[in-house]
Amino acid sequence: QLQLVESGGDLVQPGGSLRLSCAASGFTLHYYAIDWFRQAPGKEREGVSCISGSGGGTAYASSVKGRFTISRDNAGHTVYLQMNRLKPEDTAVYYCAARTRLYHACSGYVGPYDYWGQGTQVTVSS
């Protein structure tokens, strides 16, 4: 079975840090761009970050720029989202999604995804 699995979500205090992982099962991520999304209760899903298939291109939502960093390992197994200086408004379920379509690009991508993870909960208390 081909799938993505997110992990690393937890309950943290404001100002704390977490590192989320998006791991591929049954395939490698060498030729996929990976996008992170999040959805808070009562709110619409929003894009958070993206990394291109080569790893050379990245993008961030304005709300997380300067606090979050996306990266990928050389083995093509896992993509990470390092989250620093977390705020209560970062509370959400975080999802990763993989695409081969326009895998070299991140900025302004609108289109389908090949795989979605099931999500991991991030809660930032106040």
C-alpha distance from residue 76 to each of 10, 28, 123 (Å): 25, 5, 28
- What is the biggest distance separating any 2 CA atoms in the chain, rounded to whole angstroms? 40
**Res. 102: pLDDT tops 80:** yes
Model pLDDT, residue 84: 98
Write the DSSP symbol of residue 88. G
**Residue at 43: amino acid letter:** K
Percent of the chain at pLDDT exceeding 90: 84
User: Per-residue confidence at 43, pLDDT binned at 50, 70, 90?
Assistant: very high
Burial of 68 (0-12, 13-18, 19+ CB in 10 A): buried
1 vs 69, higher pLDDT: 69
Residue range 55-68, pLDDT digits in tens: 889 999 999 999 99
Residue range 76-96, pLDDT digits in tens: 899 999 999 999 999 999 999
Model pLDDT, residue 36: 98
Burial of 48 (0-12, 13-18, 19+ CB in 10 A): buried
Place of tokens 């093509």: 76
Model pLDDT, residue 63: 97
- Torsion region of 67: left, alpha or beta (phi above 0 gives left; psi -120 to 50 gives alpha): alpha
C-alpha distance from residue 3 to each of 16, 27, 30, 68 (Å): 29, 8, 15, 24
**Res. 1: pLDDT tops 80:** no
Q: Read off φ and ψ for residue 82, nearest 5 degrees.
A: -85, 125
Percent of the chain at pLDDT exceeding 70: 100
